[in-house]
Amino acid sequence: MPSLYPESGIEYYFKTCKKGDPEAKAVTVDQSPVAALAKASEITGLPRDNFEVHQISKEEFERLRA
């Protein structure tokens, strides 16, 4: 049965950083901005509004994930 939502071939990647961090150091990375934000909150114990999400390239995603 064909999928109702065919794969578009477009991939997005995101990193979550603490707000106000001048270096924008990644706390977490994920393919979903919501998941990246939730993981950052869980890891640090800080509320989600203490973070900002940035879209990143596939290359940066793979580098940060390693």
Break the chain into its structural domains and give their ranges: 13-65
Question: Percent of the chain having pLDDT more than 90?
Answer: 80
Nearest 10 degrees: CA dihedral of 42, 47, 58, 60?
-90
Q: Rounded to whole angstroms, how far apart are CA atoms 34 and 54? A: 11
Question: What local confidence, expressed as pLDDT, does residue 3 receive?
Answer: 58
pLDDT tens-digit series, residues 25-52:
999 999 999 999 999 999 999 999 999 9
pTM of the prediction?
A: 0.80
